[in-house]
Structure 1
Amino acid sequence: MPTIGVNKEDFFVALGQRFTTDEFQALCFDYGIELDEDTEDDPSRPPEEKPELKIEVPANRSDLLCFEGLARSLNIFRGKEPAPTYRVLDIPEDRMHHIVVGKETADVRPFVAGAILRGVKFTQASYDSFISLQDKLHQNLARQRTLVAIGTHDLDTLQGPFSYEARTPENIRFAPLNQKQEMDANELMAHLDNGKSCFQPPIRYPVIYDSKGVVCSLPPIINGDHSKITLDTTNIFIELTATDRTKLEIISNSIVTMFVEYCSEPFTVEPVLIKEADGTTRVTPNLTPMRMEMEDVAVAYGFNNLPRSLSNKSATVGKPLPINKLGDIVRLECAMAGWLEVMPLILCSHNENFAWLNRHDDGTTAVKLANPKTVEYQVVRTSLLPGLLKTVRDNKSVRLPLKIFETSDIVLKDDSLERRARNERRWAAAYCGKSSGFEVVHGLLDRILLMLRVKDYFIQEIPDSTFFPGRAAGVYLGKVGEESRRIGEIGVLHPEVLDKFEIRYPVSVLELNLEVFL
């Protein structure tokens, strides 16, 4: 959970009340946050250093990552002030500041948003809080700026309209933040951390210009020095670039709503028009209220205010998700049939997931880690078999036959979803003995499908290089000769597969997709 430090005296002034430690801990508990430390009680704190409250906030509450958001939320929760109504100014599109997006940005950092805060009056404390919030958003939700990068600028030093482009590094020249000397992007990368940066240098760099060719920022690396904000800044231009649209909207709304109270017209933001490369337009930010359910609503309302009567409709009874309940049924039946459950890791090496199973990686199924720390954790598994076979390999001293199973998730690429991947619950079993034991695995399959009350299913021979020729079958739902659906495989593993996993005895396996039974 992220931790935010706030000046104790200023925070109690903002709350309109002084609290004892016990009183404040009780307030935090009621609201779903936690007081981690009160430095006033720390004997090692220098006398000149003002006491701080260090408060842990939930990772999904980006609105609590700064002094302003935390104080505002607690005051609303305590009924001390009404919830603000955030308003995006209704400005004709031809009068809006706009950002023109170049088509080449789609290959490096495809999403961009903007907003303008007018008439801001900073104090040193609010200025520091503004900078601190950006840092915390970058570290947490933005994943070290890889997902989203925020740029904040003194609008009065720039001239719109703005353009968002992607250029080769030698064609980008500017003075970076807190530097007076101009340099191109190659020189900049060599200057920062002795040539090390937060990402590998691409062929093209995303860059934001104003109409006079002034570089506002080189996301996600650094802003330009020309437009840096100071205590005297009154009009703030906020631009955000991202590789994830959802995170872009969350972070954009977070930074805008936290500091819009300092505008000359509080809680009002000036929009920015985004002109996409395909000719479409959109207005940012979008501050339309979101529909929230469950825990966040209960926190806002107050858990202690919820009615306690069991006859009231608010009373609920917890129950497992259908897929988890199904998995538990399969686990229980396998255990009662004498099979042992194993729980391998969901990450494995690329070879274990493909080459060692005599399977080809066409690039459409496996989610790969960008920076794996070890060769054993390169991809998210697309089959349960690697984990089962590594378990067999690592338990050679166990008396044969070895009968093991796993009921867990694999992950598959799915471009139809926003996260571009999906989980799939599967069940797999492996029998290792002095004989192949195919009939034993087949018997387990019959038993499980019987307990799941599946009547119409059959197995049919299939070509599959993971299995011994003539000893591989697909498992199908339906009747032979009619429309059916393949839900898994069963067979005796190929000797090459056994050799790669260093297994000396024959092994029969099965693997099924459990989600088809819901």
Structure 2
Amino acid sequence: MPTLGVFADDLCRSLDIKYSDQDKEIKQKSEKEFNSLCFAYGLELDEVTCEYEMVEKEKGVEAAEKARKEAAEKGKDTMRTIWKVDIPANRYDLLCLEGLTRSLQCYRGQMEPVQYTLKRPQKPLQCFVKKEVAQVRPYFVMAVLRNIKFTQASYESFIDLQDKLHQNIGRRRELVSMGTHDLDKLEGPFTYEALPAKDINFIPLKDPHDVAKDGTESYDAKTLLTGYQAHPQLRAYVPLIYEKERYPVIYDSNRTVCSMPPIINSWHSRITLDTRNVLLDVTGLDYTKCNIVLDQLCAMFSCHCDTPFEVEQVEMIIENDYPSGVPFIKPGSKKFYPTMEEKTFEASVPEMKDWLELQHLSTPEVQKCLTKMMLPSEASADGDKLQVRVPCTRPDIMHEVDLIEDLAISYGYNNLKARVPEVIAEIKDQKIGRLTDMLRYEFAGAGYSEGLTFVLCSRDDCFKWMRREASAAVLKSQPPVHSYEPKLPAVVLRNAKTKEYNTVRTSLIPGLLKMLNYNRKNPLPLRLFEVADVAVQDLREETGSRNQRRAAAIMCNRTSSFEDIHGLLDHIMYKLKVRSKVEVKEMEARNAALPAGTKAKRWKGKVYELVHADEPEFLPGMCGHILVDGLRIGVAGVLRPDVLDPPAEYVGEGENRARVTAPWSVKSPCSVVELNIEPFLKSLKE
């Protein structure tokens, strides 16, 4: 959960709360009032501190005193009270002082919901998107904030919001990164390109060696990134593009570099307190998130423009030879950004009131509550339906239930009736949950580290990169419910936002390989496991699909280690009170050798065996099916090198030819085991 630190006096001034750092009684009273306001709105005042205390906690008293003296020379006070507020991860509109005060002012009835204006000049700024960026960072949007006036506080808030968006929705700049430029220092139209590192040369905003701090030293892209590998702030982002054949770069019409996303902006286009026209650029791997970030930046800081809440659009032109396989992008298309689209949801007033037991509220009162949450609405003639307008700053609202949640916040959680549900039930864990937890402890005890991977993946992750093929014939044959069938077709999302997450996983192995890929810098051996659900199609089910709880483990070492994974399988089976067929046969042989009349020990439980198999993702002769009482419940073996490190493939022809790579690349041998654990539920004691 991100935390927003704001100066208490600035915040109280915006919210019309009396505050004084010098008067202890007033300070405590205002803190209590703001804490109550946060609680009512669903936020939490996490900490009351100041810059001096933060530096003292991190670096000691001497560093804090030094920082205080340096700040005093600049007219700043490190003893100013800072309130740190915990912000929900999906409320990007609350990550800066402007957004937080705007929302709380509206909640308190001090202002009306904001209406944003999009300005499209007769000769708009243009940006041409080249085809080469499709394989590096395909999505790019821009906007302009004209006649903006920065103060020191608003300037710092502007920079801080970008950093929080980078870390939060941008996933440390991997999915989304943004740049801001002084438009008066640049000249359109702009181009977004991807070039070899040697062809990119510019003066960066931050010198990689901290030698030239006045913007006089230029570097080529490779030298720049190599230097940033030791930079305390930027080194985390270098791997995002370091190994790419081409680097993304933004040029103006004079071939002046504006930015090399997602790493650094240029010194030439840097913004300062005197900047009057700001050019915003957002690049990324996720089209939806790029638009969300651009909308948030424009919405939050357009209030500082001469015409408040007015944003100038930029025309983005996709070149005709841009690859046709990139979602949301049509070659040769033209579109203006930002869109700042306002969504409309239809909500049932009776249903909203029933959910919260607020039948006494009238439709206008419900509308008033929603307006407090910056959600204006229009009622139908009979008052039973509302057309709720959701601003671009609220991407967290995706369904009517989100409106019900905001209605509850606006009405006040403390004002809702507390009622014990009229349900009589014995509280205990489900058996599948108990079995899952037991197995997790056993895997961990065997030296394996647990991972939690995404349930959604791409279809290629399940089949193409694993050298598998889905089989409709296997689906029609209706195999036993508990059998392990890797060829069963996957459950596919109809309207997936991205092709990387369009399929429900059919195996845990691709997720483990992705985990290995992210941890390949760690020393070998690497031992990972996961116990979770997969989904497969099943014609016998009403929904046409079912979940299956599986356990999987992978070991990566310098040499193939099938004996280690086999030993792990024996250990897990022993804990599940399942004996191997070899052990049972040895027991029977000992019984046969006993003298007549001696009571023999006989195994009456489940029996498993590992039989030779030939699966496409495993090396020939190093794969086996796991059979329990004759039913195939899993597989174990050593993965093929072209599964661990799949070679790149090319799709399309001519200029539309594109290079496609797997989401993992593991260079060391790996052995893996995956099995369905549901057959063991019946033997689990209550």
TM-score with structure 1 length normalisation? 0.69
Q: 424, 435, 441: which is aligned to 2:584?
A: 435
Question: Is 1:190 matched up with 2:220?
Answer: no
2:3 corresponding residue in structure 1: 3
Query: CA-to-partner distance for each residue in 1:442-489, whole Å, 9 max, x for gaps?
Result: 99xxxxxxxxxxxxxxxxxx976532799976xxxxxxxxxxxxxxx5
Question: Is 1:26 matched up with 2:36?
Answer: yes
Deviation at 1:225, TM superposition (A): 1.0
- CA separation of 1:468 and 1:32: change in aligned 2, threshold 3 A: closer
Tell me how far apart the structure 2 counterparts of residues 287 and 118 of structure 1 sit (CA, whole Å). Answer: 17
- CA separation of 1:149 and 1:379: change in aligned 2, threshold 3 A: farther
Deviation at 1:203, TM superposition (A): 1.3
Tell me how far apart the structure 2 counterparts of residues 69 and 236 of structure 1 sit (CA, whole Å). Answer: 19
2:656 corresponding residue in structure 1: none
User: Between Structure 1 and Structure 2, how many residues are aligned?
Assistant: 425
Q: Matches of residues 249-260 of structure 1 in structure 2 within 5 Å?
A: 249-260=291-302
Deviation at 1:12, TM superposition (A): 0.7
Q: Secondary structure at the match of 1:207?
A: strand
Deviation at 1:91, TM superposition (A): 4.5
2:467 corresponding residue in structure 1: 362
Deviation at 1:378, TM superposition (A): 6.9
Question: Is 1:159 matched up with 2:187?
Answer: yes
**Which segments of 5 or more consecutive residues in structure 2 lack a partner in the other structure?**
19-28, 57-63, 69-76, 207-214, 323-330, 344-389, 391-396, 444-448, 454-463, 470-506, 535-548, 555-562, 586-601, 616-622, 640-669, 680-686
Tell me how far apart the structure 2 counterparts of residues 301 and 211 of structure 1 sit (CA, whole Å). Answer: 52
Q: Matches of residues 388-403 of structure 1 in structure 2 within 5 Å?
A: 393=567, 402-403=575-576
Q: Matches of residues 197-346 of structure 1 in structure 2 within 5 Å?
A: 198-199=238-239, 200-276=242-318, 277=322, 278-290=331-343, 292=397, 293=399, 294=401, 298-299=405-406, 302=409, 304-305=411-412, 308=416, 331=432, 341-343=438-440
Alpha-carbon contact 1:119-1:235 (below 8 Å) kept: yes
Tell me how far apart the structure 2 counterparts of residues 66 and 138 of structure 1 sit (CA, whole Å). Answer: 13
Alpha-carbon contact 2:636-2:672 (below 8 Å) kept: no
Alpha-carbon contact 2:181-2:280 (below 8 Å) kept: yes
2:118 corresponding residue in structure 1: 88
Q: Secondary structure at the match of 2:518?
A: coil
Q: Matches of residues 92-111 of structure 1 in structure 2 within 5 Å?
A: 95-111=123-139
Q: Which amino acid aligns with 1:331?
A: I
- CA separation of 1:342 and 1:102: change in aligned 2, threshold 3 A: same
Deviation at 1:64, TM superposition (A): 1.2
Tell me how far apart the structure 2 counterparts of residues 183 and 216 of structure 1 sit (CA, whole Å). Answer: 14
Question: Is 1:36 matched up with 2:72?
Answer: no
- CA separation of 1:258 and 1:394: change in aligned 2, threshold 3 A: same
- CA separation of 1:348 and 1:331: change in aligned 2, threshold 3 A: closer
Q: Which amino acid aligns with 1:435?
A: V
Q: Which amino acid aligns with 1:371?
A: Y
Tell me how far apart the structure 2 counterparts of residues 80 and 117 of structure 1 sit (CA, whole Å). Answer: 26
Tell me how far apart the structure 1 counterparts of residues 284 and 267 of structure 2 sit (CA, whole Å). Answer: 21
Tell me how far apart the structure 1 counterparts of residues 452 and 147 of structure 2 sit (CA, whole Å). Answer: 54
Query: CA-to-partner distance for each residue in 1:71-90, whole Å, 9 max, x for gaps?
Result: 11111111111110122224
Query: CA-to-partner distance for each residue in 1:66-113, whole Å, 9 max, x for gaps?
Result: 111111111111111111012222446xx2212111111011111101
Tell me how far apart the structure 2 counterparts of residues 236 and 318 of structure 1 sit (CA, whole Å). Answer: 58
Deviation at 1:192, TM superposition (A): 2.7
Alpha-carbon contact 2:551-2:675 (below 8 Å) kept: no
Q: Secondary structure at the match of 2:576?
A: strand
1:426 corresponding residue in structure 2: none
- CA separation of 1:384 and 1:40: change in aligned 2, threshold 3 A: closer
1:69 corresponding residue in structure 2: 99
Q: 617, 624, 627: which is aligned to 1:466?
A: 624
Alpha-carbon contact 1:175-1:182 (below 8 Å) kept: yes
**Which segments of 5 or more consecutive residues in structure 1 lack a partner in the other structure?**
320-327, 350-358, 405-429, 444-461, 474-488, 513-518
Q: Matches of residues 445-484 of structure 1 in structure 2 within 5 Å?
A: 466-467=624-625
Query: CA-to-partner distance for each residue in 1:385-407, whole Å, 9 max, x for gaps?
Result: 43599999569789x86427xxx
Query: CA-to-partner distance for each residue in 1:102-143, whole Å, 9 max, x for gaps?
Result: 111011111101111111011111111111111111122212
- CA separation of 1:265 and 1:41: change in aligned 2, threshold 3 A: closer
Deviation at 1:30, TM superposition (A): 1.0
Tell me how far apart the structure 1 counterparts of residues 303 and 530 of structure 2 sit (CA, whole Å). Answer: 44
Deviation at 1:20, TM superposition (A): 2.3
Q: Which amino acid aligns with 2:270?
A: K
1:384 corresponding residue in structure 2: 550
Alpha-carbon contact 1:249-1:285 (below 8 Å) kept: yes
Deviation at 1:376, TM superposition (A): 3.5
Question: Is 1:125 matched up with 2:139?
Answer: no
Tell me how far apart the structure 1 counterparts of residues 137 and 565 of structure 2 sit (CA, whole Å). Answer: 41
TM-score with structure 2 length normalisation? 0.53
Alpha-carbon contact 1:216-1:224 (below 8 Å) kept: yes
1:347 corresponding residue in structure 2: 451
The CA RMSD over aligned residues, in Å, is: 4.7
Q: Secondary structure at the match of 1:234?
A: coil
Alpha-carbon contact 2:176-2:286 (below 8 Å) kept: yes
1:356 corresponding residue in structure 2: none
Alpha-carbon contact 1:331-1:341 (below 8 Å) kept: no
Q: Secondary structure at the match of 1:435?
A: helix
Deviation at 1:205, TM superposition (A): 0.5
2:325 corresponding residue in structure 1: none
Q: Secondary structure at the match of 1:71?
A: helix
- CA separation of 1:509 and 1:213: change in aligned 2, threshold 3 A: closer
Q: Secondary structure at the match of 2:85?
A: strand
Q: Secondary structure at the match of 1:119?
A: coil
Tell me how far apart the structure 2 counterparts of residues 39 and 156 of structure 1 sit (CA, whole Å). Answer: 39
Alpha-carbon contact 1:402-1:432 (below 8 Å) kept: no
Q: Percent of pairs identical after alignment?
A: 32
Q: Secondary structure at the match of 1:274?
A: strand
Query: CA-to-partner distance for each residue in 1:177-224, whole Å, 9 max, x for gaps?
Result: 152222221232233345966213421100001111111100111111
Q: Secondary structure at the match of 1:146?
A: coil
- CA separation of 1:186 and 1:15: change in aligned 2, threshold 3 A: same
Q: Secondary structure at the match of 2:143?
A: strand
